[in-house]
């Protein structure tokens, strides 16, 4: 079943949608909003922007060490919750959010809702072509 993202209006499969307040939204809007709640660290945020600007199209081996470790952990496990990543690397949610934003931009990892839980998965996990806006 298809529904419309409550934020940007994109059609998404119901199982690919996320609950945000009382709206169902697409993955992009969900993570954008999760990201914008982490506004306490503008310096780190702008360094992510800078990183993206500087490196543009990046290969996994060109990632910063922390980013690569998280990416490899996700790849190795197939799917992990953010809590598992936080525990494994002893990082703060804000740090992980920024790493994850980078991984998503480079199409290395993404969020997926599996059995009602949000997981971080490799980008090519359960690909659904029609959900790609680019």
Which residues lie near Zn ion (CB under 5 A)? Answer: 5, 7-8, 10, 26, 29
* Half-sphere exposure for 92 (CA within 13 Å, toward CB): 7
Q: How far is the CB of 40 from Zn ion (least distance, A)?
A: 24
Residue 18 corresponds to which tokens in the numbers above?
């996320």
CB count within 10 Å of CB 21 equals 8
CB of 32 to Zn ion, least distance (A): 8
Q: Is the Cβ of residue 7 or residue 79 nearer to Zn ion in the bound state?
A: 7
Cβ-based nearer residue to Zn ion, 95 or 104: 104
Q: Where are the beta strands (DSSP E) in the chain?
A: 2-4, 11-13, 18-20, 23-25, 109-114, 117-122
Q: Which is nearer to Zn ion, 10 or 75 (CB)?
A: 10
Least distance between Zn ion and beta carbon 118 (Å): 16
């Amino acid at each position: 079943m298809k529904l419309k993202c409550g934020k940007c209006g994109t059609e998404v499969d119901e199982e690919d949608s996320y609950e945000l307040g009382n709206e169902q939204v697409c993955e992009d809007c969900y993570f954008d909003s999760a990201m914008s709640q982490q506004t306490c660290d503008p310096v780190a945020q702008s360094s992510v922007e800078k990183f993206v600007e500087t490196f543009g199209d990046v290969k996994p081996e060109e990632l910063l060490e922390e980013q690569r470790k998280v990416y490899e952990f996700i790849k190795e496990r197939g799917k992990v919750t953010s809590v598992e990543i936080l525990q494994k690397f002893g990082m703060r949610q804000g740090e992980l959010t920024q790493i994850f934003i980078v991984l998503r931009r480079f199409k290395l990892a993404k969020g997926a809702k599996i059995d009602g839980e949000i997981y971080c998965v490799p980008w090519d996990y359960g690909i659904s072509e029609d959900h790609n806006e680019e």
